[in-house]
Structure 1
């Protein structure tokens, strides 16, 4: 990480696990950091990473109380403060990744530092420095602006959707911390607005950059995995309806190869992504007056999707094959919603038709 921060008199100490930001005059902070929540004054800001740990504490949900977990985190961080000789009062961010893995964007008088980790769940911490003295009202506005910018970046990168990421299902130690040089009674509306827009742009850019390093945006295989579909399951489903000939390993291998090949077709990918988006909208009842929870008989656009996928891969014969897979719903296809069962039935039917093409 570059050590240049928009506040010139900040001093930075860094080792493999811990980065310490401090200044003689301290910081006025606002945020929900692991330690130092709310609006407060601190001398130091500490970002500590737990290398090679998926979670900061080895507990499963319900094993111990939330209060016990919070207290142990604070005790752990206080031990770090003593060991590193950190000047208190201090705020701290506890990360399940190495603290050195930052993405940093500097834009005039704002610096955004983002730490992301795409493990069992997406973890993200955001630390923003503002080279100004601010009042509490402005700090609250900037905290909201940072959250808005984070969510905008999640949307930009395709992270937010019902199947892959619920913004409320995050690591409990995720942090957003904003640090200004100090407090003042006078911040004009124009100054407040300018800083807010600067923070939104800077945080959005930094989060986008950090998510890019975590593997976003995702490819079609990752989107399929979000809805519980992997290629091997599709191969199993395809093999279930093979009749009249021996089910050989060669057929399985050819089918798998064909599925991967078909997933390179932009039109096939378009139908799959459209199906995933539509399934989510239906499941969340986002369209007033539309309820397809029981897969009503009058809903046939899903079958049009399925037939279109099959036809794109192997033409008219695949459409007839699609009807077999749509009616039998073998394997993984039977576990999908009213749109995706047809989309993936079409994918399997098209690929099977292509495998046996003469």
Structure 2
């Protein structure tokens, strides 16, 4: 790993990476310990499989601020044990074997770590081979946040159902580490370095997210709104008539659902429904309120009938009416648009597996 700033040294063991320099770094950002603005001798990454709970306990036994304090105390103890010279900016990562996506130019180096587990964890470190004025560092910090959010938007990570940008992990970090500080504000440098770093951060975050499975497939989008394929199978089985529910029948329906989810037109209806449901639920269209699923809203049923028809033709439309009216299983838990779309998926797939 090559850092753009001269005389930077790196030490790494099984869980910890230490980045240090005799003259240190001028930093600004948010880290587990040592955040804010100032001078540090070193930057430390420490990986932990159970990053959220360094000391085992049940969530109900501890409050959020106590959990944050506990992680900070744990990391401070680690730094003392490893003999890290203070002051230091340190970041607690959720995996021991952490990896970075790296982007380098002549005067900056960007390191991005992305981990998708039960939640998405992102941290960004930008080294700058210039003496930076505090005003420039503040503007750069703001631009990096904007670039991160733009990358999340580009890859469809941000949506109401699965990711609230405000609800991020406390240990997610953004840190700028400059060669030194300057009392003079350089307008040319300010514009040039910030614009280049901003573009590179956006692309580097996207590359890191690509390696974590983004953008999502239709199954993941369905999961965002609380729908699993097994839920659709359960709903389909609830309205079968004239035959017994068997493991073989369930597996046949599941296989048909997966097959139908390979149809671009079915996928298009599902994604359109998710987007529309989000916009309506968030009341993003002035003058439109469908919270109570009003009777005059019938475009959702048109979507549902279209999905059913796409999968199994005209006969599936009649089956759709049964699933739309009864709303078995997961269908009853969905909003005014998605209940009809997934009723259409189930109705179409049920009609398809009983074709002669």
TM range, normalised to the smaller chain? Answer: over 0.9
Partner of 2:263: 265
Aligned partners of 2:74, 2:50: CA distance in 1, in Å? 17
Structure 1: stretches of 5+ with no match in the other structure: none
Aligned partners of 1:44, 1:267: CA distance in 2, in Å? 53
Aligned partners of 2:222, 2:67: CA distance in 1, in Å? 35
1:39, CA displacement in angstroms?
Answer: 0.7
Aligned partners of 1:347, 1:209: CA distance in 2, in Å? 33
The answer as to whether partners of 1:16 and 1:100 remain within 8 angstroms in 2 is: no
- Rate the CA distance shift 1:290–1:98 in 2: closer, same or farther, 3 A: same
Structure 2: stretches of 5+ with no match in the other structure: none
Aligned residue for 1:181, secondary structure, equals strand
Partner of 1:300: 298
Q: 1:105-116 to 2 correspondence within 5 Å?
A: 105-116=103-114
Partner of 2:139: 141
User: What whole-Å deviation, never above 9, does each CA across 1:214-240 have from its counterpart, x for those lacking one?
Assistant: 111111111111111111110111111
Aligned partners of 1:131, 1:338: CA distance in 2, in Å? 54
Aligned partners of 1:282, 1:59: CA distance in 2, in Å? 40
Larger displacement relative to structure 2 (119-128 or 229-238) = 119-128
Aligned partners of 1:71, 1:345: CA distance in 2, in Å? 47
Q: 1:332-343 to 2 correspondence within 5 Å?
A: 332-343=330-341
1:76, CA displacement in angstroms?
Answer: 2.1
Aligned partners of 1:67, 1:243: CA distance in 2, in Å? 55
Q: 1:19-58 to 2 correspondence within 5 Å?
A: 19-51=17-49, 53=51, 55-58=53-56
Work out which of the residue numbers 116, 119, 123 in structure 2 matches 1:118.
Answer: 116
Aligned partners of 1:169, 1:57: CA distance in 2, in Å? 23
Work out which of the residue numbers 268, 277, 280 in structure 1 matches 2:278.
Answer: 280
- Rate the CA distance shift 1:235–1:124 in 2: closer, same or farther, 3 A: same
Aligned partners of 1:65, 1:274: CA distance in 2, in Å? 39
The answer as to whether partners of 1:47 and 1:99 remain within 8 angstroms in 2 is: no
TM-score, normalised to structure 2, is 0.96
- Rate the CA distance shift 1:66–1:257 in 2: closer, same or farther, 3 A: closer
2:252 pairs with 1:254: yes
Partner of 2:237: 239
The answer as to whether partners of 1:112 and 1:127 remain within 8 angstroms in 2 is: yes
The answer as to whether partners of 2:53 and 2:67 remain within 8 angstroms in 1 is: no
Aligned partners of 1:67, 1:315: CA distance in 2, in Å? 56
Partner of 1:75: 73
1:202, CA displacement in angstroms?
Answer: 1.6
- Rate the CA distance shift 1:232–1:91 in 2: closer, same or farther, 3 A: same
Partner of 2:161: 163
1:296, CA displacement in angstroms?
Answer: 0.6
1:58, CA displacement in angstroms?
Answer: 3.9
1:186, CA displacement in angstroms?
Answer: 2.0
Aligned partners of 2:17, 2:211: CA distance in 1, in Å? 20
Aligned partners of 1:157, 1:26: CA distance in 2, in Å? 36
Aligned partners of 2:53, 2:214: CA distance in 1, in Å? 21
1:100, CA displacement in angstroms?
Answer: 3.1
1:334, CA displacement in angstroms?
Answer: 0.5
Aligned partners of 2:90, 2:345: CA distance in 1, in Å? 49
Larger displacement relative to structure 2 (186-195 or 53-62) = 53-62
Aligned partners of 2:79, 2:151: CA distance in 1, in Å? 33
TM-score, normalised to structure 1, is 0.95
The answer as to whether partners of 1:17 and 1:99 remain within 8 angstroms in 2 is: yes
Aligned partners of 2:315, 2:21: CA distance in 1, in Å? 72
1:106, CA displacement in angstroms?
Answer: 1.2
